[in-house]
Chains A and B, each alone.
Chain A
Amino acid sequence: MNPSEDKQPVKKVCIIVSRGSLDGVYPALIMANGARMEGIDASLFFTFFGLNALVQKTLDHLKVATVGNPAMNMAMPMLGMPMTMPFPTWMGALPGISAFATGLMNKKMEELDIPPVGEFLELISDSGGKIFACKLAMDMFKLKPEDLSDRVDGVLTVGQFYEESAGAGTHILFT
């Protein structure tokens, strides 16, 4: 086979977002927006705690997970300290640490022109990306469609999500 024939382009990405921390949600938003910028279709399916990013009351208040995160040393350069500086995981549980780390990350992201979650959902939706909520998780957390951002295109069952993902060249990513 000719190597160039082997390179089938990605036509669509369907990204499942199952976590609701700031660091759990942003990679998916960035990947979806990046796909649209390349002319690739994008659908986001928010399930379990990922719904935190669609609920109007919470979506712009996501927090960095500092408890049980052994990679917090990555944030040290933001404080002018070396990345190799240890950050014991128990420190992540100290009062105010998560809020502090979140504030720091939000500031850095704004500098890089990464929008807040609400604005990011608008950007993805305006670019033609689709945003879905998981029906089962909605029932589990006792959420109604009116609790969600008005950019949500619908509440889907798992089966409907797979239907939405149909087509050669579609990739399903779980985050």
Chain B
Amino acid sequence: MNKEIAGTTVEVNEEGYLTDMSQWNEAIAAAIAAEEGVGPLGDGHWKVIRYLREQQAKGAALTIRSMGKSGIVTTKELYDLFPGGPLKKSSKIAGIPKPVGCI
């Protein structure tokens, strides 16, 4: 379905995740973050968001363990930056699909 976020019409699924990561921009990220109760987005958030988008573009499966080992962010920092669902919320804000793994 289509949804207007930060003045841009994007395609999202029923949970609000962008279905085409190329439609994403920083204003969209900020708007989703506000909706999710995250932010305002600072350097720490952006580092995670950019890393997630790079990994997604490479087709890598994202897990909470791999995030903690990425050198980008520690597990504790990730939970502090994106409270209430670190990987789910950061993925939504980064405009990539919801992670499907259990780890």
Contact = CB atoms under 8 A, between A and B. Distances in A.
Contact of A30 (B61, B68, B88, B102): B102
Given A112-B103, A127-B75, A128-B79, A39 B84 contact: yes
A123 B85 contact: no
Interface in A102-138: 112-115, 119, 122-123, 126-128
A27 to B, nearest CB: 11
Contacts of B103: 30, 33-34, 112-114
B3 to A, nearest CB: 21
Contacts, number: 44
A92 to B, nearest CB: 27
A91 B9 CA distance: 62
B97 interface: no
25 contacts: A30-B103, A34-B102, A34-B103, A36-B79, A37-B64, A37-B85, A37-B88, A39-B83, A39-B85, A112-B103, A113-B65, A113-B66, A113-B103, A114-B65, A114-B103, A119-B65, A122-B75, A123-B64, A123-B65, A123-B68, A126-B74, A126-B75, A126-B76, A126-B79, A127-B75
